[in-house]
Chains A and B, each alone.
Chain A
């Protein structure tokens, strides 16, 4: 429903968004890896001083089982203030929550009781496939033409994956976004540079290559995604493809600069076939086209093969497995999750071509099993994975599960879920909040986190 004045959580610029009030709630996607119980959106109290701080205060169970909740997002955000396509009187009120495995999409209303959102609409897999011609919905972004959904496969579960649009008020599926997809076949993440009318998409793989776990032959054959695609955001045509080379596998999370005048962003490649390292690349505008440069390389760490899962025994090393990255609102700090080694790193990327490591914490990890001050049982498994930053950049939250069947390939005993929080220093440096360690309910594992009112990977802005 429309309002008389803009939603107070919409900010014209990232600079203004940094002045937003401190978030009090976090929404976390939570799934049952055995697919016996319904997945859920879990609500966590993150309000400093609250009697239930760092506790789960609400759970919204999905109506089915086996959805595999993964990523999700808001129906509307600061992009609604854009001058060329204004929708300023929409409300940031609904969470759009897809099941990556089921291709079902749930709409949750958080307005009346933010701690116990209500499911107000469920788009069944058949409807999603028929209307959009896509399945395996993944990334959700609110943008100039409504809700953009990146999906990993077409209606038949094959290539091409792509992007479709949903109405941000009725949640009807409006159809495929692309008008000319050029050579693009694989999909994963989607985001954009609103100031440069450019959309960027990245690549994972097709469902057959991940729904039963990563396939070693496909990985070692360099057949997972290794390209970036650049599109004209308004003509919806493919403009450019950049190939990172087959040795840089799994090109995942897209973090364009929040400042819309800046034409650069960061993306991670999870693993290099050459030496098991992980890398971060900066894409940037060069003349009339886009270019990339590798700016961070994190090497694998030698380890006792006895501590390693079968997949890694032969290598005698732990790959860092950079599976998520996130950029602070002032475009200054990049947070890097090393799900393999257990590092969560903070880099100063003021110069996007010369990142400086400014902080590291370690928790979990395939070989290290590092603990947390508040953890009860010492050795933690899983590692830093989905990471989210508060708008003011002072608090960083993350969880430890990657994807149900892939978790067991690297942590064979399974993952005991946890969520932690870091406090970040304004000038660099991070430390655990010793009071914030949430042991996840044993039946479920936590994945993406969304913060009340917006966070550093939810909103995009049209004004510098």
Chain B
């Protein structure tokens, strides 16, 4: 950690906040389930499985970087990651709205986790973390156990920030704000998101 300073960790936490604010990442689903079942408990219970699904999606990306970092050097990983991000942004911009819907309002815990995993993966949530993951996950192979602990901690921090954000927003909307906020306040996260993916990818290619 000393090599890179605090910025990768701030990035993990900050992107956790960004992901958590996106209605498509869970808080809105939690509010809807609360309203359907008429209980704040339902809002709160929906959050952990969705955070778990998100974490798994992120972890798959981190583990891939880790595996790649073990065989090729850091610059190649950065370049590959950058290209992947730009391609994903292009795909998302063009086809992001066309997805099979597999989970509905009667979802249980497992359904919510699967839904969140699919949403995070489809949106490229883990890919957005690549600039911070790459320096943490590459060039450390020799250090043994630590190489696994640091990315795990990174995913944990991101997920904790996400869970805190979705929890706060979900409760605020459920208890006080109400759903009218959706009509004006639901800004186009997909557009921001696509832009963020493309920008991150380009930066990684340039700095590779």
B23: chain A residues within 8 A (beta carbon): 83, 86, 88
B9 is an interface residue with CB less than 8 A from chain A? no
Cβ–Cβ contact A194 & B104, under 8 A: yes
Cβ–Cβ contact A84 & B101, under 8 A: yes
Give the shortest distance, in Å, between A301 (CB) and chain B (any CB): 44
Stretch from B57-65, B145-153, B183-191, B199-207 at the A interface: B183-191
Rounded to whole angstroms, the CA-CA distance of A13 and B107 in the bound complex is 20
B182 is an interface residue with CB less than 8 A from chain A? yes
Give the shortest distance, in Å, between A169 (CB) and chain B (any CB): 6
Give the shortest distance, in Å, between A215 (CB) and chain B (any CB): 39
B2 is an interface residue with CB less than 8 A from chain A? no
Which residues 69-93 of A have a CB within 8 angstroms of B? Answer: 81-90
B41 is an interface residue with CB less than 8 A from chain A? no
A305 is an interface residue with CB less than 8 A from chain B? no
Q: CB-defined interface of B92-108 with A at 8 Å, one 1/0 digit per residue?
A: 00000111111111110
Give the shortest distance, in Å, between B115 (CB) and chain A (any CB): 6
A197: chain B residues within 8 A (beta carbon): 104-106
Give the shortest distance, in Å, between B186 (CB) and chain A (any CB): 5
B79 is an interface residue with CB less than 8 A from chain A? no
On chain B, the number of residues with a Cβ less than 8 Å from chain A's Cβ atoms is 31
Give the shortest distance, in Å, between B159 (CB) and chain A (any CB): 20
Cβ–Cβ contact B29 & A12, under 8 A: no
Cβ–Cβ contact B103 & A84, under 8 A: yes
A3: chain B residues within 8 A (beta carbon): 188
The main secondary structure of chain A at its interface with chain B is loop
Cβ–Cβ contact B106 & A86, under 8 A: no
Q: CB-defined interface of A157-201 with B at 8 Å, one 1/0 digit per residue?
A: 000000000011100001000000000000000000011110000
Give the shortest distance, in Å, between A38 (CB) and chain B (any CB): 33
Task: From A5, A146, A233, give the contact of B104 (CB < 8 A).
Answer: A233
Cβ–Cβ contact B32 & A85, under 8 A: no
Cβ–Cβ contact B105 & A260, under 8 A: yes
Give the shortest distance, in Å, between B144 (CB) and chain A (any CB): 42
- Using known A-B contacts A5-B184, A8-B183, A11-B183, determine if residue A85 contacts B101 with beta carbons closer than 8 Å: yes
B188: chain A residues within 8 A (beta carbon): 2-5, 88-89
Chain B residues near A (Cβ < 8 Å): 23-24, 28-29, 31-32, 35-36, 97-107, 115, 179-180, 182-188, 190-191
**14 A-B pairs, CB-CB below 8 angstroms?**
A2-B188, A4-B187, A5-B184, A6-B186, A12-B182, A16-B183, A83-B28, A84-B105, A86-B28, A87-B97, A88-B182, A90-B97, A197-B105, A462-B105
Beyond the given A2-B190, A88-B188, could you list 4 further A-B residue pairs with CB under 8 A, ordered by the A residue number? Answer: A84-B104, A168-B97, A194-B104, A197-B105
Chain A residues near B (Cβ < 8 Å): 2-6, 8, 10-13, 16, 81-90, 144-146, 167-169, 174, 194-197, 233-235, 260-261, 462-464
